[in-house]
Chain A
């Protein structure tokens, strides 16, 4: 019984992974172009909404209310979904979710030796590594979102919540498609590549009997599920198979159908800068003569309920996965998503991953931010990401300080020393004088060079003016003396 988020257990700490990413000029150019484009479109579409802030306020209030009553709303959803002909399963963690999915797929494909399932973009399935589990069980998952196809064909990891393949350019995609689809004549024109994806998937949409999806919203009042998409692959996966399995994080539930009027305005504008994305699909259980004959929901915990205890941490679960914080983040802009070592990258990943799964590498994530606040400003549900980052930093420090190694770590000693100095004028002024004198070891003209320890991270890349001989308080004292003399 364990929480697992993607392949994070093998990830490097953020500063290490970021260093690798920073060397990849192609990746950085792709990420910049993509995030600049979406950011610009988003700004345009938000500007035309005079009630944007009011929508954010309501969205945040609905989510906060729902999470406070999550048990009631999940039970209500379960009841209504089953009344409509669906079946609800509950999964404590990744393994349990995968086991349920595999069990259902086997049950519905009895006698078939080669079983395929078609999938519509779901981050939650990446989170539980469902594709790995399916393959191990002899089931072939086929990703149908264009970007997810690119990621799957390249044996790659998603680098963005909404546009998972934004780190790839058209030439890379062309090469992948040529090889996987056996179409050596393909050009790098996006029209050509999109057409190839259409042709490649159409026959699978028609013949594969089982579909797997996630959900953007699960509606307690109706037991309905909503999937937001652009390409139509979602509609295909949700409509054409005989069996549909939807993996839904427990935080995706909203109370009522009318609440969609808030989220369907916020999500598309925040995610892709569209007034409305091309397609939204909603359904309740099974509909006679239309779409799948069997519908299963797997409600997933996988660490989410741990976040409910603390009011600030709980806010993390309000996320509607729009990716606006990634596009706005100046850190993500430089590194792309892979540096975060989790399928959840960028600012939201930096708070979500360490809370879902406490791992060594995720301890570096709360520090992967300058706290510039750009993420909070664009968040459609007003998650105060900088505040939560600081809160999580506090947790990392407290955990470190509980160990002898942590107590004796250079950073902790320096912080304790500084805190002590700041508590007394005498000690503070003494420290100032010590710094003024001590800097002589590193002084070259009016600059400091090759500082030791953490400060070395500064002088390695940046210049630094030497500490002036006279501090401000020295000036003030001498001035007062002059005045009284």
Chain B
């Protein structure tokens, strides 16, 4: 494929993946990394549910239970859901807008490695036996007094991973602003690109507060700061504000790309243009904006007073309006469509009722008085799992099946896909629906065990069996992935047959330069327009084929991150060891030298020649026939 002389063998392949700056390969790396952490978080969830299967269970200790719930939440949000979505954004979004690459390929790679090493740092805590145990929100009143290094792993690991997220966000924003193909106006962008755009803008404004909050936590725990210690004049509520100013937008950062995936899936498999495209775009932007106006609804019971609570209650409920607009637009997209029930479409169909239920219970808690009743009960657990699993995870699975052929050039098995869906969907509702009632019946969240005779036994048993079904469903999916990969039957450009957007116009997987010639976009659903007009090549080029400028691969992003990883251990141990400070300085210096190496050597990339592109096209045509 690549025009540069390629060495073969395991070492060369490994080196290729470590140094890649190709957005499609980085997308695959994000996907694999995210799936790895998804399995890890899933195992943690299973142990939590097994512990709660019967009253007075002692499968795990109370301390270990705190470790498990903390790591389950942190892992799923930061290391599974977001990276997998980033995987799709990386692999698909540039193709959808007809770009050759993202705006900053080097920084794209850096962002991935920061996620990978940050996640590794967080999870190495298991090997040390000192695991974060203050909840994924890590409220300062708990986290400051958590013994050992558990919370230190949280603060530093998330700092590294969060830096990577911010870089990825800026990268996607610039890509969409500057690198759209001719004719791709903002109001012709596919919905997934739009949601990537808005989610990235939210990342840009939500992650800096997290950065600051984590620094405060790091300073307080490791460097003698007093931000949250009330005996020194500090205030733990500051952490709560900072965390939720980040944390609530984060929920929308996760759900908006999932909305984008569903918008693509509905219009492709209903074989209709998305109903109310303009309203969809407007609703996306509005959700992005309102997402920043509502953080204090997580703090109704803190005692901010009725005025603050009322304002944030109203703002919170307002988000239901654009979300409702979206739900109706999806329904109306299907109305009168010629619906094909494929695996991605099944997830999309299952998503609507599931997510609406999560949304409704969200509005319930948006009412401050009701929130006082439901606060810290299992009702909350049920609510946010309905949103995150019923929205984000179903979206991820839909996207996984939908774009797998584009990313890997082979199709996941449809039958196994549907089996996965049934197990996962039934298991999901079984696990979490009953938890609404557990909350009403008074079961608090985050409890390690419960006593017999409170009427919670059967509900908890049902919930655990549901979790088991979800695990079976996921296992079937892993089997599906393995089988598909071994079989590796190549597919054509548009394996679903009804692709509407640009990514389906080029081979699966796409050549490393994406488009031989930049496409000319003539309207919304570009490829559909070309199909309707009977274009033979499926793409109207905007320019003749010329030499293409490509970036060089680089190992420096990984080395820069390695330095931060090392420095993290130094910061953590500098108080109790003599070598800690040295390691901290060494790690930072290592990163700085890597940065200097990048700055001092001009890396201008290379050119793919016109002849090579024409040869590639010739080969792929011959392969297809």
Q: Do A and B come from one complex?
A: no
